[in-house]
Amino acid sequence: MKQRLFILSQYLLPHHLLSRLIGCIAECRIGWLKNPLISWFAKQYQVNMSEAQVEDLRAYEHFNAFFTRALKDGARPLDETLGAILSPADGAISQLGAIEHGRIFQAKGHSFSAVELLGGDAERAAPFMGGQFATVYLSPKDYHRVHMPLGGTLKEMVYVPGRLFSVNQTTAENVPELFARNERVVCLFDTERGPMAVVLVGAMIVASVETVWAGLVTPPKRELKSTRYDAQARGPIELAKGAEMGRFKLGSTAIVLFGPNQVQWAQELGAGSAVRMGQLMGTAQD
C-alpha cells in the first residue's frame, strides 16, 4: 500500500514547482539555515568529507556548493587499463547491457525508447541502435560531478523537457519509460569508439543540471532545444577521458550509450553494483 501511495504521489505532485522551491533553499546563503541543513545532510547520508577539497561543512557558501563539492587530487584515480571505459560518476549501476530493438532495459519488465531518450530524433539515435548502454544512479551521499567515460569531441547538446519523477528502484520498477519521461540533457560526442552519448537525467527536487561548456542549462522555455558544437557552429569542444563534463545540483542519473560492437561491459558489474568515478566499467571491443 505504501508503495502504491508513493507512486500515486509521483503523478500528483507539482514536480517543477517543488523543485524550484527546493532549489531556492539550496542556494540560500544565510548561515542559520544553510549550516544546519548541510550538517544534517552530511550526517544523515554519512557523507565522507575527508576526501573533499574543503572538509569544513560551514565553509560552503550554500547547500549546492556542498552538494557539488570538488574532491582532493587523487581521490578518484582513473583506471589505466588499455581501452578502458570509465564509470562517469559515483553511484550504483541501475542496469547495463545491450540496446535491443531500439529499447533500453529499465527494470522489472520496463524498458524505454532510445529515440525518445535522445530527444525523439530517429537520426540522432540511429548510431546507437544495437549498441550498449549503462545507467548509473547517483545517491544523495555520492560525489555529484559527472566525468567523461572516454575522451571525445562534443558535437551536440540537447535539452529535453519533461517530468521530474523521483529516480530510485521503486519508480524504476513502477513508472513506465521513466528515463525517457524525465527532463534531461543529452550530450553527444565523437570518440575513438565512435559516437558516445552521456545523458544527464533530472529527477524530483533536482534544481538544475550544469555542463562545463554551457554552465547552467536553463532554456528560457521548457521546450526541446538543440545546440551544435561542430566547426560550422560554435566550434568543437574536446574533453579528455576522466575530465569533468557536468554536475547535478541535487543528483539523479547518468546514462552512457555506445554504438554496436564498440564496448564490452565488465563482467563483474550488474544491477546494483557500486561504482566510483574513474573505475573500469568496460573495455573497448576488439
Please state, as a whole number, how many other Cβ atoms lie within 10 Å of the Cβ of residue 81. 13
Cite the active site residues.
Answer: 90, 147, 252
- Give me the amino acid identity at 228: R
Q: How far apart are CA 225 and CA 98, in angstroms?
A: 28
Q: What is the grid cell recorded at 231?
A: 566547426
- Please report, for residues 43, 151, 175, the alpha-carbon distance to residue 256 in angstroms, rounded to integers and kept in the order given: 31, 13, 21
Q: Which three three-digit cell numbers place residue 136?
A: 548509473
